[in-house]
Amino acid sequence: MKTFSPDRRQFLKGSAATLALASMGLMGMDYIRPEQPLQVALIGTGWYGKMDLWRLIQVAEVEVVALCDVDQNHLREAAEMTAKRHLSGRKPKTYSDYRELLANHQLDIVLICTPDHWHALQAIAAMKAGAHVYLQKPISVDVIEGEAVVAAAKKYNKQVQIGTQRRSTPHLIEAKKTVIDSGKLGKISHAEICCYFHMRANRNPDEKPVPAFLDYDFWTGPAPLRPYDDLPHRGWWRAFMEYGNGIVGDMCVHMLDAVRWMLDLGWPHQVSSTGGIYVQKASKSNTSDTQTAIFEFNELNVVWQHRTWGNPVDPEYPWAFKIYGEKGMLAGSPFKADFFPTDPKEEKIHWEALYEREKYPEDTKEEGIEIHAVPATRRHLQNLLESVSNGQSPVADVMEGHISTASCILANLSMKLGRPLHYDPVKMEIPGDPEATALLRRPYRSPWVHPEPDQV
């Protein structure tokens, strides 16, 4: 079996990119040094927000001028940690309201790492304020929110990189080049994507007073206001469809997006899904513990399955994609990839994830780090900065993120309605199905107003 561990992906790709970067002062191979440090803000300073911000600091000379969070403990900790990682050593200004932050600073890049129900409003506001955006997936919690984010990026001419960083994962880039792009699989007519992690929050905490350091009403924002029963951070908010789209919206979006990128797929023609809460019935959580979805393309179905209980189908690939062709199968995950040819005379190929512990030793000391994923995040952020400089779309641009996000939302709506759905992205409706079309927009809690594509 051949084994490959890819080299670091270079930031510059040819003289045209070099000239474009030179015009902005963004010269360098790995570390980007603009003529003036990029002015950066982070909205959502919890675990993943800090993880993304530290990666940006690792790859570019930036000044983190502002941080925003409704949790004062998160905010204080992030400000102190940022000062230690800054070249300047300065603490950023802190805000509890992202609108104040955007009004008070002229920013180059805004990173948005809040819970899913805030993504669309904050991304649109950041673009209106003049910033390019690094937006965590999914880009929205309903389909029309996503259309509004796409419309805003076009209207304000801003680059938006979505945090579907499989597109910047070194070993998957190599696997795509070696297997998919070379035609090793032959005709491809099936793909399977899955997640079997036991990640559903199965708890029943009692209602309790909201702690003084958390603005729970602002945290909830446009979503329904649930009785407060625990800090929503990390996994608890994901237990509720009020704030996201369950495990399909959290995990399927990554693998569906990876397959779409690998195979150059656009919108699915039809989406269908079944599932529900079949096993873990005792929890407050209202997200499905078991779900199957089918995304139909031309002579190709992409089939998703998740279970938050029991054994994975393949213990080697519990969160993964498998792409099947007439000449073999390519399996991939954030941790590794394998090509399995149907011809026993042909060699298998194996790739391991790239780890950069030696180049970035600080990674090994970072609490909660997904050390297998941060090399991809670094490249994802570099790709955004390259796109800002040359005007070309980033690898996970807003439209690609919208298609993957909306497809997952449609799967949940199909499960709810009990029928397949076809979305028309031109008319922004589900033809012949007014009930399903009405569900493309979620009701917003007052005083927040749902964004509309023609009004951004």
- Domain boundaries defined on the chain: 7-166, 168-203+230-365+398-448
Average confidence (pLDDT) over 175-199: 98
pLDDT band at residue 20 using 50, 70 and 90 as cut-offs: very low
pLDDT of residue 234: 83
Average confidence (pLDDT) over 183-198: 98
Cβ(175)–Cβ(351) below 8 Å = yes
SS3 label, residue 391: coil
The 10s digit of each residue's pLDDT in 308-354 is 999 999 999 999 999 999 999 999 999 999 999 999 999 999 999 99
Whether the domain at 7-166 and the domain at 168-203+230-365+398-448 fall into the same CATH topology: no
pLDDT of residue 35: 79
pLDDT band at residue 166 using 50, 70 and 90 as cut-offs: very high
Strands 328-332 and 270-276: unpaired
Average confidence (pLDDT) over 395-399: 98
**Does 5 score more than 80 pLDDT?**
no
The 10s digit of each residue's pLDDT in 202-235 is 999 999 999 999 999 999 999 999 999 999 998 8
Average confidence (pLDDT) over 79-89: 87
**Domain covering 168-203+230-365+398-448, topology:** Dihydrodipicolinate Reductase; domain 2 (3.30.360)
Using N-to-C axis directions, what is the helix angle for 47-59 and 374-390, rounded to 10°? 60
Cis peptide before 37 (omega within 30 of 0): no
pLDDT of residue 87: 72
Return d(Cα 159, Cα 188) in angstroms, integer: 32
pLDDT band at residue 85 using 50, 70 and 90 as cut-offs: confident
Average confidence (pLDDT) over 351-368: 92
Residues ≥6 apart with Cβ < 8 Å to 296: 268, 269, 270, 271, 272
- pTM summary value: 0.92
Return d(Cα 314, Cα 312) in angstroms, integer: 5
- The two structure tokens encoding residue 83: 């000062």
Q: Cα 435–436–442 angle (5° rounding)?
A: 100
Share of the chain above pLDDT 70, in %: 94
- The two structure tokens encoding residue 323: 């792409």
Return d(Cα 327, Cα 248) in angstroms, integer: 30
The string over 381-411, giving b where at least 16 C-beta atoms fall within 10 Å of a residue's C-beta and e elsewhere, is: bbbbbbbbbbeebbbbbbbbbbbbbbbbbbb
Cα 403 from chain centre? 12
**Does 134 score more than 80 pLDDT?**
yes
Of residues 4 and 268, more confidence is placed in 268
| DSSP tag of 233 | T
Q: Which amino acid is at 407?
A: S
SS3 label, residue 298: coil
Average confidence (pLDDT) over 98-106: 98
Average confidence (pLDDT) over 56-71: 96
Classify residue 131 by burial, with Cβ atoms within 10 Å: 0-12, 13-18, 19+. Answer: buried
Cα 447 from chain centre? 27
Q: Cα 7–13–15 angle (5° rounding)?
A: 145
Cβ(93)–Cβ(65) below 8 Å = yes
Cβ(160)–Cβ(123) below 8 Å = yes
Average pLDDT score, the chain: 92
CATH tag, 7-166: 3.40.50.720
